[in-house]
Chain A
């Protein structure tokens, strides 16, 4: 039987947003096509029992409707140019920007900080105007501007509350630097992203994308396609904002997985039962109260002893694992953890609250058959930190 998720509960809101998309495309031949998203959403709700498949279907349907509306209204910019309307931004584009921000940030509605989110919306609109003013000399076509706005809006972290001003700040920056080579500014932010911690790097990259828009405009089909694919994940928009590299870092479990469920305090150790005739093991671990530890910090060791008594050790660092909840909306900005290199990809929550479990998979191999496997927590862990062993997997070789 169908289980109800917050996204299902917000389906009326989503339908209203789709109808707003259709309104934005009125006067073109596309509103009817966009409206078709509504029966499709209901049909998906009725017919797809698997929760994630259903949400993915919602995502694809709404992303397609949004893309059609954006493309239709971009082609109709001239028709919408109102006397006294500033910046060459058409009202449908403003509506679409608001729809995009609401889809990416306002679901579930219960967790929305209304004032801060309104500041984000206002900042996003300001950024839209600033980008269009900057690109006024460029050929018509506002969709790349919309993309830039949505990317920045998606990654803007709240908390801290002051970060709600990020889109507005970037709008001012875009306006002020409109005569400066934009690639140089983008390069500056990319360099910052390279050296910054993971949670800040996402913000820097989004800002860089805003400045790279004129260049990305040259490969429109690729950019549009990638954007639609990413936007289709709005039912997990928190993942878009904070854990997009999970696609690259995801590593599926493929062997005999055995749950362990042990938390080690500083200097504590735990032995794990090993199956006979095994040379390889993958230990899935996560941190507790480790969000402030920087990448590369050693938090423990895996020790494997073979039949001849030879010991293989493998240090566990932040980067192999992360704090289990570091990608949560509330903790992400303050966190110093990067996304684990090999993540089991356990996604929790929905919408803007979606986050990925900070567990990482650490592999260890022994020259001969393993006899014992032990995980030792580092002695210099903070007093309240724990190294949590979630499971061990013995890959089938």
Chain B
């Protein structure tokens, strides 16, 4: 691993820099090495107790950030999309062993089983693979077929997943086993980086902006995590981007091939393909090709699973309740565990680009409009957040298009905001690289930040993060703020457009017409001159706004401080399964590895002798619980009898005398305690 870091640290500058920049980069890296060695020596004396692996990964990531920083800001550089490809490939090659620290997870083992079956048996029947998991590279001897996996007429066990991805990674697997299979995905990641650079260049983004954004896009979440894991998302993102580029450049062979591959990767990506195809069809011949592009994957799916839609159905496209659209749409943006703002803050800029639709590049508008049907299908699903996968799974495919929106907005935001976004991204990369298993979250309504703080402070910090998986008050506040931000952006963008189109307009005063001599003409009292629109953004306001943008890190710091102060106070609502609750006995409900456990209402099951400790407010509170037998719970010396509720939930009021740490002990019976709400 150290060797790989060294190779990357030397390789990336050699590829990207030249002349004085190259020399300075190596000097800076040497300096960083000395600083690290010095601090390590002092740390030994001070007996600093840190996780050595985390330190190693963090130092390595920061070390590699040096040449990428030079690439972004130095003058003497070697830069092209092909060099971006090489740099991305080096970075992903380093990321693969980091991600392999724990066995592959989520859908990955199933894709790998299919690959193994293709390589060893030349079929897709996984019966023998499941029988002989000890000889599989999945590292998962406990693997079972997924619910809903199709079976053949002779008892063959197929996977619900489309076979195109396993076919793609087959050469890599045959050559290098699991790392080889991952290398194929990484290759697609590097190709995606190259295509993204080309795409941004084609759409008129400046070279300087592209160079700054390249590391954040290629090595930032979510791409970096999916580029080194066996998911179809990164190859799909590459295909989708190539399709959009092909359409923009009017190169039918390119977009036909790309769309075909896109639909082969996953049937659901057909929704992207359909809109794209509708946008480009001009002739009957093209219509025939389009029909083939959509039909062939469906036929393949039908041949394998007996259902052309594979595990999907047309009913998924029908509208659901409005609440589900709110949860999915705002969740994808704001959710603490699965939303863009927290898990890939760079792309939050693209959300703010949407209200500026008319001023966005054509590529962005084409890509985003093509994704509309896909998003409408995605957001009401109960698994909008991706299920058991790294964050933002379902929208990774859209990231290159969002990157264009980001690039446009990047040029308009202040250095402070950029710095905060870069810092947060760096933190996410270090976290995901050091603890790859934490990329998968149980979807409990918490996230790793809230959980970590709750563990340290034994107080509920998770309530401060918006959760749309288990909707909370922060989610409502976040939604309102997002809508307000979007409206503000719409208004500001309209005003700024009108102000630009009106030349000298500054304020609402009347301006007399100018004479040829350059002097203003005298206006008769009744005659109006050119009315300067009063809704133009005044210059002083812009200056203030600019100053505010400079202080974004300080605003962020203030936000952190406020969260720190508020987070240590008792919450109004205590979710008993949360991390901040000290559990002394009992078990989580539903059990940890329940499939789609986000569909359940959580809780903590206590039996006789078990106790829970948490911060609570004084006064009347209501406990929501479910108990077959009934239970007696003791709180601060008072016993409360929880009557049986059968399979329904019941509510019981309790009174707490003082605010502070409270212990709730089950004296008799058992109950599933869901939450306690302060009235």
Contact = CB atoms under 8 A, between A and B. Distances in A.
B48 A38 contact: no
Nearest to B452: A47
Nearest to B33: A225
B416 interface: yes
Contacts, number: 115
Contacts of B35: 225, 228-229, 232
A236 B73 CA distance: 35
A29 B74 CA distance: 13
Contact of B46 (A31, A32, A347): A347
Interface in A21-61: 29, 31-33, 35-36, 38-43, 45-47, 49-50, 52-53, 56, 60
Interface stretch (A150-158, A244-252, A280-288): A244-252
Contacts of A50: 48-50
B554 A38 contact: yes
Interface string B390-409: 00000000000000000000
A5 to B, nearest CB: 13
Contact of A47 (B456, B556, B561): B456
Interface in B8-47: 27-28, 30-35, 37-39, 41-47
A347 B560 contact: no
B550 interface: yes
A389 to B, nearest CB: 22
A46 B28 CA distance: 30
A276 interface: no
Contact of B561 (A42, A229, A252): A42
A241 B465 CA distance: 44
A89 B176 CA distance: 61
B564 A39 contact: no
Contacts of A40: 423
A112 interface: no
B50 A53 contact: yes
B553 A232 contact: no
Contacts of A39: 420, 423, 553-554, 556-557, 560
Nearest to B36: A229
A19 B561 CA distance: 16
A255 B560 CA distance: 44
Nearest to A45: B564
Interface in A8-22: 15, 19
B39 A229 contact: yes
A31 B48 CA distance: 30
Nearest to B414: A32
Nearest to B39: A229
A36 B553 contact: yes
B289 interface: no
Given A1-B457, A36-B419, A42-B564, A226 B38 contact: yes
Contacts of A232: 35, 39, 42
A36 B423 contact: yes
Nearest to A232: B39
A224 B456 CA distance: 36
B453 interface: yes
A38 B34 CA distance: 25
A347 B45 contact: yes
B415 interface: yes
B489 interface: no
Contacts of B157: none
A225 B34 CA distance: 6
A53 B48 contact: yes
B414 A229 contact: no
Interface string B450-485: 001100111000000000000000000000000000
A46 B427 CA distance: 15
A221 interface: yes
A359 to B, nearest CB: 14
Contacts of B551: 35
Contact of A222 (B34, B44, B415, B452): B34
A52 B27 contact: no
B453 A247 contact: no
Contacts of B295: none
Contacts of B552: 32
B34 A35 contact: no
B47 A225 contact: no
B418 interface: yes
Interface string A208-232: 0000000000000110111011101
Given A31-B550, A42-B564, A47-B452, A229 B34 contact: yes
A247 B550 contact: no
Contact of B39 (A36, A60, A345, A347): A60
A35 B420 CA distance: 9
21 contacts: A2-B456, A19-B554, A31-B550, A32-B553, A35-B416, A35-B419, A38-B553, A39-B420, A39-B553, A40-B423, A42-B564, A46-B456, A50-B49, A53-B48, A56-B42, A225-B34, A226-B38, A229-B38, A232-B39, A246-B45, A345-B45
Given A1-B458, A232-B35, 9 more contacts: A36-B553, A39-B556, A42-B561, A53-B49, A221-B30, A228-B31, A229-B38, A246-B45, A250-B44
